[in-house]
Amino acid sequence: MPFPQNGGYAIVVCNTIKGLVALGHEVSLVALNAKKYNGSEQVATDDLLEKINYTSYNIDISISMLDGMINLFRKKSNDIDKYYDAGFEKLLIRELRKNAYDIVQFEGLFVTPYLSAIRKNSKAKLVYRSHNIEHQVWQRLAQQKSDLFKKWYLSLLARRVKDYELQQLNKVDAIAAFTAEDKNTILSYGTTIPVEIFPVGIDLTQYKPDFSKTEFPSLFFLGSLDWLPNREGIEWFIDNFHKDLTDGDLRVKFYVAGHNIPERFDDYEVMGKIFIQGEVDDAFEFVNSKSIMIVPLLSGGGMRVKIVEGMAMQKCIISTSLGAEGINFKNGHNIMIANNQDEFYDAIERCITDEEHCRTIGTNARKLVEEQHDVNHVARDLAEFYARLR
């Protein structure tokens, strides 16, 4: 369910729909409202809902400790199976029988358990949008772990997800990927259907930087910490730079904000130096108020929406190569790339002592986004791709 738009997945899905609606297409969105840990029901509120046919269905995807133990001895992965619900499948079938759709697009791997039911009940062309290569996320997480049990368990999950993921690739009529890296990976598995690249598209009219409200220097991280690669990356960064930021030579305030930040992160907070803010009311205002974005991603895949958004807000961004994957960046021109502790330290030191350098990086970043990530251009290319499939 892409509401509220407080994460990369939600932003991409909603922007895609906005772009297609602006082109005159009729769009329906049927969404799983996945509740974890018996959380409260989410209520969708967005102007976009007035322009589309929208239906949501509640499921609980929490897994008990017993389920987790049993899963160790199964060949299939709970990480996929938990998104299947017979009631939701019936809802999809009713929707398909009411309307003759031209295209049905699956947003990510976790909705593909409904693929066969949709194929049986619709003549539409089926498009799979690969938000990332899902099994690679687990593989990269496993590689980062020193704990042997965690490494083994994450590797086990990766193998199971890979088995499932590869089975789905040729069951659809086409695949839309975000990055060239993901397209090449998909093709390397023997995929014979069309695979095209459509980068993250954003509505540039929403991104209006106001430097009079920006604190310089200041570091910030913004991201959902219920996504393991984000949590792992920010833990690595704080563990390695906590002393430098609080007692060392990096004299700059550091702000952490985002969705589902664990309570234990409060232990990182240091008055006047490190701020753990949790979920912010206005992400645009938060990003605008800070000057240097940190993206210490060590695992994961796909294209990071937050980097594209940060570039649109003319932020100076320091990211790992993996974090910036798929973006046509030029290191030192429209982004700063740092892949280890020393490189991050040097990049931060340079940025906090040279405001003009940060401004130049941000200005060039905005130009890149205007050229390659305008949602109107991306949606037009996607619609043309759909037309070629019919």
Instruction: Please say if the pLDDT value at position 70 is more than 80.
Output: no
Q: Is residue 352 part of a domain?
A: yes
Q: Is residue 360 part of a domain?
A: yes
Instruction: Please say if the pLDDT value at position 39 is more than 50.
Output: no
Mean pLDDT, rounded, for 191-196:
95
Please tell me the predicted confidence (pLDDT) of residue 71.
61
Please tell me the predicted confidence (pLDDT) of residue 139.
86
In the structure encoding, which two tokens stand for residue 82, read together?
């938990």
Q: Are residues 225 and 311 in the same domain?
A: yes
Give the HSE-up count for residue 246: Cα atoms under 13 Å, Cβ half-sphere: 12
Q: What is the pLDDT of residues 240-273, one digit of tens each?
A: 999 999 999 999 999 999 988 999 999 999 999 9
**Do residues 250 and 324 make contact, with C-beta atoms less than 8 angstroms apart?**
no
Q: Which residues pair with 316 in a beta bridge?
A: 292
Q: Are residues 239 and 361 in the same domain?
A: yes
Please tell me the predicted confidence (pLDDT) of residue 347.
97
Please tell me the predicted confidence (pLDDT) of residue 154.
86
Please tell me the predicted confidence (pLDDT) of residue 69.
63
Instruction: Please say if the pLDDT value at position 137 is more than 90.
Output: no
Instruction: Please say if the pLDDT value at position 42 is more than 70.
Output: no
Q: Is residue 221 part of a domain?
A: yes
Please tell me the predicted confidence (pLDDT) of residue 275.
97
Instruction: Find the DSSP H helices in the chain.
Output: 8-22, 65-71, 78-81, 86-98, 115-121, 134-144, 148-168, 180-188, 228-246, 283-289, 305-312, 341-352, 355-372, 375-389
Q: Are residues 132 and 241 in the same domain?
A: no
- Report DSSP letters for 156-194, one per residue: HHHHHHHHHHHHHTTTSSEEEESSHHHHHHHHHTT--S-
Please tell me the predicted confidence (pLDDT) of residue 40.
45
How far is the C-alpha of 322 from the C-alpha of 249, rounded, in Å?
27
**Do residues 329 and 335 make contact, with C-beta atoms less than 8 angstroms apart?**
yes
Q: Are residues 334 and 219 in the same domain?
A: yes
Instruction: Please say if the pLDDT value at position 37 is more than 50.
Output: no
How far is the C-alpha of 354 from the C-alpha of 366, rounded, in Å?
19
* CATH code at position 287: 3.40.50.2000
Kindly report the backbone phi and psi dihedral angles of residue 265, in degrees, each rounded to the nearest multiple of 5, phi listed first: -70, -20
Q: Are residues 133 and 23 in the same domain?
A: yes
Q: Which residues contact 331 (CB under 8 A, 6 or more apart)?
A: 337
Please tell me the predicted confidence (pLDDT) of residue 6.
75
Please tell me the predicted confidence (pLDDT) of residue 157.
87
- Can you give the residue range of the structural domain that contains 273? 205-372
Q: Is residue 135 part of a domain?
A: yes
Q: What is the pLDDT of residues 321-362, one digit of tens each?
A: 999 999 999 999 999 999 999 999 999 999 999 999 999 999
Tell me the pLDDT band of 60, cut-offs 50, 70 and 90: confident
Domain count, the chain: 2
Q: What is the pLDDT of residues 260-309, one digit of tens each?
A: 899 999 999 999 999 999 889 899 999 999 999 999 999 877 789 999 99
Q: What is the pLDDT of residues 86-100, one digit of tens each?
A: 999 999 999 999 999
Q: Are residues 125 and 257 in the same domain?
A: no
Please tell me the predicted confidence (pLDDT) of residue 45.
61
Q: What is the pLDDT of residues 208-239, one digit of tens each?
A: 999 999 999 999 999 988 888 899 999 999 99
Please tell me the predicted confidence (pLDDT) of residue 74.
63
Q: Which residues pair with 270 in a beta bridge?
A: 274
Q: Is residue 78 part of a domain?
A: yes
Mean pLDDT, rounded, for 157-183:
93
pLDDT over 70 percentage in the chain = 93
Instruction: Please say if the pLDDT value at position 72 is more than 60.
Output: yes
Q: Are residues 360 and 381 in the same domain?
A: no
Angle of the 228-246 helix axis to the 134-144 helix axis, nearest 10: 40
Q: Which residues pair with 54 in a beta bridge?
A: 29
Calculate the average pLDDT of the chain. 91
Q: Are residues 266 and 307 in the same domain?
A: yes
Q: Are residues 141 and 262 in the same domain?
A: no
Q: Is residue 2 part of a domain?
A: no
Q: Is residue 55 part of a domain?
A: yes
**Do residues 365 and 311 make contact, with C-beta atoms less than 8 angstroms apart?**
yes
Burial class (CB in 10 A: 0-12, 13-18, 19+), 111: buried
Q: Are residues 28 and 176 in the same domain?
A: yes
Angle of the 134-144 helix axis to the 148-168 helix axis, nearest 10: 170
Between 132 and 341, name the one with better pLDDT: 341
Q: What is the pTM of this model?
A: 0.87
Q: Is residue 1 part of a domain?
A: no
Category of 143 on φ-ψ map: left (φ > 0), alpha (ψ -120 to 50) or beta: alpha
How far is the C-alpha of 310 from the C-alpha of 328, rounded, in Å?
15
Give the closest residue to 235 by CA, choosing from 299, 304, 288.
Answer: 299
CA 204 to chain centroid, in Å, comes to 18
Instruction: Please say if the pLDDT value at position 130 is more than 80.
Output: yes
Q: Are residues 220 and 350 in the same domain?
A: yes
Give the closest residue to 319 by CA, choosing from 303, 291, 339.
Answer: 339
DSSP secondary structure letter of residue 270: B
Please tell me the predicted confidence (pLDDT) of residue 303.
80
Q: Are residues 182 and 221 in the same domain?
A: no
